[in-house]
Amino acid sequence: MGAYTEMTDIDASKWPSLTAIGPAGALSPSSSTSISWRRTWPFKPDVVAEGGNGCLDAGKHVIVGPESLRLLTTSHDMTKALLTESGDTSAATAEAARLCAHLSDRYPDYWPETLRALVVHGARYTRAMREMLPIVPLRRHKETLL
């Protein structure tokens, strides 16, 4: 599971020194593919989902937040707060699990492997990812995304 982001907006009046790291539609800064990938291995991640973004403070320090670059979720300690922010591949995994739960509800007789196959084979590159590829990409072109 990987993360991509569409979240790039930062309230400049509230956070004037912050800039988003990842452009819209690109892999989230916290997501990785593989440093030691070999051509005989499958492409990973199979699927990406929204995982939020990171930001730079004055172009120097990577920080988490602000809230506009994170995903809203339920808090682990509801005595302190009902909701909190989440992000990265954990948030993306939750989004993919939600999709699988909807598919499982719709197709209760399908095996988990079948549901996974539906998600993987239904996945598409974002516009930003497609723009990094030629119109008719070959395997070697797709390898540059890894």
pLDDT tens digits for range 62-84? 988 899 999 999 999 999 999 99
Verify cis geometry, omega within 30 degrees of 0, for the bond prior to 45: yes
Q: What is the mean pLDDT of residues 19-45?
A: 83
Domain count, the chain: 1
**For residue 141, what pLDDT is reported?**
86
Task: Check: CB of residue 41 under 8 Å from CB of residue 6.
Answer: no
Which structural domain range is residue 68 located in? 2-143
Q: What is the mean pLDDT of residues 22-49?
A: 83
Kindly indicate the confidence band of residue 5, based on its pLDDT and cuts at 50, 70 and 90.
very high
- Of 33, 45, 52, residue with least CA distance to 119: 45
33: pLDDT strictly greater than 80: no
**For residue 34, what pLDDT is reported?**
67
8: pLDDT strictly greater than 70: yes
Length of the chain: 146
Q: Give residues with Cβ within 8 angstroms of 106, minimum separation 6.
A: none
- The residue that leads in pLDDT, 144 or 98, is 98
Kindly indicate the confidence band of residue 104, based on its pLDDT and cuts at 50, 70 and 90.
very high
Our separate counts of H helices and E strands in the chain read 4, 7
122: pLDDT strictly greater than 90: yes
- Of 101, 127, 120, 103, residue with least CA distance to 46: 120
Encoding tokens for residue 2?
A: 């990987």
Task: Check: CB of residue 89 under 8 Å from CB of residue 77.
Answer: no
The Cα 90–Cα 87 span in angstroms is 6
Q: What is the pTM of this model?
A: 0.85
**For residue 21, what pLDDT is reported?**
94
